[in-house]
Structure 1
Amino acid sequence: MTSRTFRLWRNTKKISAAVLIGYCGAVSASAHAQVSKPSSTRHDDSGPHGSMREGATPSPPSSQPAISVDDPPTLFGSPYNRAPSSLGTTRHAVTPVPDEPFIPASFEDWLAQTTMTGNWGGERVRLQNEGINIFGHYLEDSAGNPIGGRGRTVRYAHEAALGADVNFAQLTGHNIGIFHILLTERAGQGIGQQLPALNSPQEIFGSGETIRFTRLSFERQFGRYVDTEIGWINTENDFAQSTTHWGMNLYCQFQTNAICGMPQGIASNSGYGYYPTAHPGAYIKVFPFGDQRMLVSAGIYNVDPTISNTGYAWKMWLHGSTGVFLPFQIGWHFGGTDTHGALPTNVKVGGYWDTSEVNNVYGQFKGFQIPGVDVGNLPIEKVRGRFGGWFEGDQMLQRDRADPHRSTIAFLSFTWGDPRTAIAPYFITWGIVRKGTFWNRPNDTISIGGKFNFVNPKLGIYAAALQQQGYTNILKPSGEHAGEINYGYRPAPWLTLRPGVQYIWHPGGTNRYRNALLLDMEMGTTF
Structure 2
Amino acid sequence: MPDAGRWNPMIRTVFGAAVVLSISGLMLSDGSARAQSTQSDVVATTRPVVVGGYANRVPARLVPAPAPKQAVPATTSSKQAAAAHVYVPPSLLAGYFPPSYEEWIRGSTMTGDWGGLRTHLEDRGVHIQGHFLEDASGNPVGGKYAGVRYAHEFGLGADINFARLIHHDIGVLHILLTERAGLSLAAGPLGGAVDSVQQIFGSGETVRITRLSLEKQFNRYVSMEAGWINTENDFGQSTMHWGMSIYCQFQTNAICGMPQGLAMNGGYGWYPTAHPGAWLKLYPAGNDHYLVSAGIYNVDNTISNTHNGFKLGLDDTTGVYLPFQLGWHHGNDYTGDMDGNIRIGGYWDTSEVPIVTSKAGAYQPASVELIDLPTTQIRGRFGGWFEGDQMIQRDQSGSGRGTVIFGSFIWGDPRTALSPYFATWGIIRKGTLPNRPNDTISFGGKIAVLNPKMAQYAGMLQQQGQKAIRPSNEPAIELNYGWRPTPWATLRPGLQYVWHPGGTNRYANAFIIDMETGLTF
Q: TM-score higher than 0.5 here?
A: yes
Note if contact 2:182-2:205 (Cα within 8 Å) is conserved in structure 1.
Answer: yes
Equivalent residue in structure 2 for 1:186, among 159, 180, 183: 180
Aligned residue for 2:412? 417
What residue is the counterpart of 1:377 in the other structure?
372
Letter paired with 1:245: H
Match of 2:287 among 286, 291, 302: 291
**Larger Cα Rg: Structure 1 or Structure 2?**
2
Cα–Cα, structure 1 residues 440 and 402, in superposed 2: closer, same or farther, change >3 Å? farther
Cα distance, 1:342 vs. partner? Answer: 0.8
* Corresponding position of 2:113: 119
List alignment gaps of at least 5 residues for structure 1: 1-20, 51-57, 63-94
8 Å contact from structure 1 (residues 61, 97) kept in 2: no
Deviation at 1:49, TM superposition (A): 4.3
The alignment-based identity, stated in percent, is 58
User: Does residue 319 of structure 1 match 2:309?
Assistant: no
Q: 1:331 to 1:59 in 2, by over 3 A?
A: farther
Task: Indicate the SS of the match to 2:456.
Answer: helix
Residue number in structure 1 paired with 2:484: 490
1:388-427 equivalent positions in 2, closer than 5 A: 388-401=383-396, 404-427=399-422
**Shift, 1:60, TM fit:** 3.6
Equivalent position to 2:469, from 471, 475, 478: 475
**Alignment map for 1:458-469 (pairs within 5 Å):** 458-469=453-464
- Measure, in 2, the Cα distance between the counterparts of 1:290 and 1:59: 32
1:103 paired residue among 97, 101, 108: 97
Partner of 1:247: 243
Q: Is 1:157 the equivalent of 2:140?
A: no
Cα deviation, residue 47, structure 1: 7.0
State the distance in 1 between where 2:239 and 2:90 align. Answer: 33
Aligned residue among 261, 264, 276 for 1:265: 261
Is 1:310 paired with 2:292?
no
Change (3 A) 1:61 1:115: farther
In the alignment, structure 1 residue 446 sits paired with structure 2 residue 441 = yes
Please report the TM-score for the alignment, with normalisation by the length of structure 1.
0.84
Instruction: Quickly say closer, same or farther: Cα 1:59–1:292, change in 2 above 3 A.
Output: farther
The answer to whether structure 1 residue 513 and structure 2 residue 507 are counterparts is yes
Deviations 1:84-123 (A, max 9, x none): xxxxxxxxxxx99999821122222111000101111111
Q: Assess, with a 3 A threshold, how the Cα gap between structure 1 residues 332 and 43 changes in structure 2: closer, same or farther.
A: same
Work out whether residues 430 and 440 of structure 2, in 8 Å CA contact, stay in contact via their aligned partners in 1: yes
Match of 1:26 in 2: 44
Q: Aligned equivalents of 2:160 and 2:340: distance in 1? A: 32
In the alignment, is the contact (CA less than 8 A) between 1:412 and 1:429 conserved in 2?
yes
CA distance in 2, matches of 1:34, 1:399: 21
What TM-score results when the alignment is normalised by the length of structure 2? 0.85
Q: Tell me how far 1:448 sits from its aligned partner.
A: 0.1
Unaligned 5+ runs, structure 2: 1-40, 71-86
26 and 96 in structure 1: CA distance in 2 versus 1, 3 angstrom threshold? farther
Size of the aligned set, in residue pairs, is 460
Please tell me the root mean square deviation across aligned C-alpha atoms, in Å.
2.3
How far apart, in 2, do the equivalents of 1:281 and 1:410 lie? 32
**Per the alignment, in what secondary structure is the counterpart of residue 104 of structure 1?**
coil
After TM superposition, the structure 1 stretch with the greater mean CA deviation from structure 2, 359-368 or 276-285, is 359-368
Deviation string 1:252-290 (CA, Å, 9 cap, x unpaired) is 000000000000000000010000000000000000000
Q: State the SS of the aligned residue for 2:342.
A: strand
Cα shift at 1:140: 0.2
User: Cα distance 1:523–1:44, how it changes in 2: closer, same or farther (>3 A)?
Assistant: closer
- Matching residue within 339, 354, 363 for 1:359: 354
> Structure 1 residue 202 and structure 2 residue 198: aligned?
yes
Q: Is the aligned partner of 1:387 residue 2:402?
A: no
Change (3 A) 1:273 1:433: same
Pair 170,47 (structure 1): closer, same or farther in 2 beyond 3 Å:
farther
1:425-436 alignment runs, 5 A limit: 425-436=420-431
Deviation per CA, 1:307-336: give whole Å up to 9, x if none.
Answer: 0110111111211100000000000012x2
What are the Cα deviations for residues 164-207 of structure 1, in whole angstroms up to 9, with x where unaligned?
01100001111111111000000010101011211000001000
The 1:412–1:124 alpha-carbon spacing in structure 2 relative to 1, beyond 3 Å, is same
The one-letter code matched in structure 2 to 1:187 is: A
Runs of 4+ in 1 over 3 A off after TM superposition: 33-37, 39-42, 44-50, 58-62, 95-100
Q: Deviations over 1:361-390 (max 9, x none)?
A: 011101111235212120110010000000
Q: For the structure 1 residues 338 and 61, does the alpha-carbon distance in structure 2 shift closer, same or farther, using more than 3 Å as the test?
A: farther
Does the aligned pair in 1 maintain the 2:490–2:518 contact within 8 Å?
A: yes
Q: Cα distance 1:520–1:61, how it changes in 2: closer, same or farther (>3 A)? A: farther
- Aligned mates of 1:208, 1:443 — CA distance in 2: 33
Contact 1:40 1:234 in 2 (8 A): no
Q: Distance in 2 between matches of 1:304 and 1:217?
A: 18
2:194, 2:182 → 1: CA distance? 19
Partner of 2:58 in structure 1? 43
Distance 1:270 1:501 in 2: 30
Say which SS state the counterpart of residue 379 (structure 2) adopts.
strand
Query: What residue in structure 2 maps to residue 141 of structure 1?
Result: 135
Deviation at 1:241, TM superposition (A): 0.2
| Structure 1 contact 40–237 (Cα < 8 Å) conserved | yes
User: Counterpart amino acid of 2:187?
Assistant: Q
How many Å separate the matches in 2 of 1:174 and 1:457? 56
What amino acid is the match of 1:247? Answer: G
Deviation at residue 504 of structure 1 after TM alignment: 0.1
**Deviation at residue 468 of structure 1 after TM alignment:** 2.1
1:501 corresponds in structure 2 to 495
Amino acid at match of 1:471: Q
Contact 1:155–1:190 under 8 Å retained in 2: yes
Query: In structure 1, how many angstroms separate the alpha carbons of the residues matched to 2:103 and 2:399?
Result: 25
Is the contact between residue 40 and residue 261 of structure 1 (CA under 8 Å) also seen in structure 2? no
Matched with 1:55 is: none
Out of 207, 214, 236, which is 1:218 matched to? 214
Contact 1:60 1:96 in 2 (8 A): no
Q: Is the 8 A contact 1:339 1:404 kept in 2?
A: yes
Residues 457 and 429 of structure 1: CA distance in aligned 2, closer, same or farther (over 3 Å): same
Q: How does 1:81-100 map to 2 (within 5 A)?
A: none
Alignment match, 2:9: none
Inter-partner Cα distance in structure 1 for 2:307 and 2:57? 21
